[in-house]
Amino acid sequence: MLFPLCVMAFLGGCNKASTSSKARITLDGLTQGSYFHIVYYGDQDNGKIKQGIDSILSAVDNSLSLWNENSLLTRINKGENAVVDKIFRDNLALSYEISTLTDGAFDVTIGGLVKIYGFANKERRKVSEQEVQHLLQYVDYNKVSISEDGHLIKQSGTELDFNAIAQGYTTDIISDYLISMGVKDFIVDVGGEVFAQGTKPDNQLWTVAIEEPAADSLSEAKYNYTIGLDNQSIVTSGSYRKYYEENGVKYSHTIDTKSGKPVTHTLLSVSVLADKSYKADGLATAFMVMGLDKSKAFLSEHKEYEAYFIFNDEQGKYKTYATEGFKKKLKKVNQ
């Protein structure tokens, strides 16, 4: 799904000497098969805040993680008729919102296809056209709902995958928790899904860097642009670090929900700005499915979102496109 943004505010100091008496608190760790990194300024009970965040991360992992063999999602995908919890219900509802908005380009019922291509936690193998067509019958977000007694209603054989929204959701609820604890200045990064509120002690916005496309998954990360977040989320989805190669052809980790196959267009990455991380997360994935032209058409109708695209032209050279709002926020590194 996503590669992490480099959060520059985590790495550098301030342009001016800090006059804040509040402590700078940093929290790091692993979650949902990825990482989390949080920085905030405050004089609250930091032990209590850390305990609260750990509780949130554990609850989301136990509900939605595909890397947790005992998670609610894993058990439901295996056919267990379990009552779903609030986290599961929330993510299903938010996923439906993004699916409807993008005409199904985003669809959490893609789980079976993700698994056979080896992008979940299974070993990769050759996938036949027959398998793809068989699993496509289970890809339809409209056929999933929750019964009055709290059980998931779905076709037998349908597998869900919340990876393209769960980390954004986690970033949002951690951000909401920090606000409820009286923290006003913070940045939360869960697996590359970032939300920032307030400022650093020098009154500068929290700043993140946008990674340029790499030659392969082992290439050193390079950053040409940064962007300041003004109570916003940014999420980047890219195809050049998560792919597999077969007979000299690179196949993206992003699955086209209509064809059931990895996307084949020349869009390399997209960064989305939104007021919530779950929106930026879901739309970033949807845009990678839709491709540049359809994404631009979508953004022309939904001006509340901003985005930055990196793609290959017909000669194979890197090109970029940014919406006007995103373009105004971009700053060249070392400029």
The neighbour count for residue 215, using CB atoms within 10 Å, is 8
CATH at 137: 1.10.3980.10
Residue-wise pLDDT tens digits, 169-211: 999 999 999 999 999 999 999 999 999 999 999 999 999 998 7
Q: What is the pLDDT of residue 293?
A: 96
Residues 148 and 176 in one domain: no
Q: What is the mean pLDDT of residues 83-89?
A: 98
Q: Look up residue 157 and give its two tokens.
A: 């054989």
CA–CA separation, 71 vs 38, rounded Å? 24
Model pLDDT for residues 236-294, shown as the tens digit of each residue: 998 654 444 554 445 557 899 999 998 888 899 999 999 999 999 999 999 999 999 99
Query: What 3-state DSSP class applies to 275?
Result: coil
- For residue 58, the 8-state DSSP code is H
d(CA 71, CA 60): 9
Identify whether residues 83 and 138 lie together within a single domain: yes
pLDDT, tens only, 153-172: 999 999 999 999 999 999 99
Is 180 found in the same domain as 77? Answer: no
Looking at the fold, whether 298 and 235 belong to one and the same domain comes out as yes
What CATH number does the domain containing 12 carry? 3.10.520.10
Of 122, 153, 184, the residue that ends a domain is 153
Structural domain total, the chain: 2
pLDDT, tens only, 15-42: 333 445 689 999 999 998 889 999 999 8
Among 37-51, 72-86, 291-305, which is the least confidently predicted range?
37-51
The residue ranking higher by pLDDT, 335 or 99, is 99
Judgement on whether residues 318 and 196 belong to the same structural domain of the protein:
yes
Return the biggest CA–CA distance within the chain.
64
**Last-in-domain residue among 118, 153, 188:** 153
Q: Are residues 48 and 79 in the same domain?
A: no
Type and span of the H or E element at 194:
strand 193-197
End position of a domain, from candidates 128, 153, 178:
153
pTM here is: 0.90
192 and 123 inside one domain: no
Task: Please indicate, yes or no, if residue 252 is contained in any of the structural domains.
Answer: yes
48: tokens are 């209590």
The distance of Cα 196 from the centroid of its chain, to the nearest Å, equals 15
Angle at 266 between CA 304 and CA 239, to 5 degrees: 75
280: how many CB neighbours lie within 10 A of its CB? Answer: 29
Q: Look up the domain containing 147 and give its range.
A: 60-153
Dihedral pair phi/psi, residue 190, rounded to 5° = -115, 100
87 assigned to some structural domain: yes
> In whole numbers, what is the pLDDT of the chain averaged over residues?
87
**Nearest of 285, 293, 287, 268 to residue 114 by alpha carbon:** 285
Distance CA 132, CA 117 (A): 10
C-alpha span between 312 and 304 (Å, rounded): 26
Judge whether 279 lies within some domain: yes
Given this model, what pLDDT does residue 266 score? 85
Based on the domain organization, do 49 and 114 belong to the same domain?
no
Are 195 and 265 members of one domain?
yes
Same domain, 133 and 192: no
The per-residue pLDDT for 124 is 59
pLDDT band at 317 (very low <50, low <70, confident <90, very high): confident
Read off the pLDDT band of 216 (50, 70, 90).
low
Do the domain assignments include residue 135? yes
The answer to the question of residue 183 being in a domain is yes
In a shared domain, residues 280 and 210 = yes
Between 83 and 213, the more confident residue is 83
What percent of the chain clears pLDDT 70, i.e. is strictly above it? 84
Q: 11 pLDDT band (50/70/90 cuts)?
A: very low
**In this predicted structure, what is the pLDDT of residue 96?**
98
Does residue 294 belong to any structural domain of this protein? yes
> Mean pLDDT over residues 60-83, rounded?
95
pLDDT class of 314 with cuts at 50, 70, 90 = confident
pLDDT of residue 255: 92
Does 70 have pLDDT greater than 60? yes
> Quick check: is 158 in a domain?
no
Instruction: Count the Cβ atoms, other than its own, within 10 Å of residue 321.
Output: 17
Evaluate whether residue 73 is within a structural domain.
yes
User: 94-117, pLDDT tens digit by residue?
Assistant: 999 999 999 999 999 999 999 888
Q: In this structure, are 192 and 310 located in the same domain? A: yes
Q: Provide long-range contacts, Cβ within 8 A and 24+ apart, for 318-327.
A: 318/212, 318/213, 318/268, 321/292, 321/296, 323/299, 325/273, 326/227, 326/271, 326/273
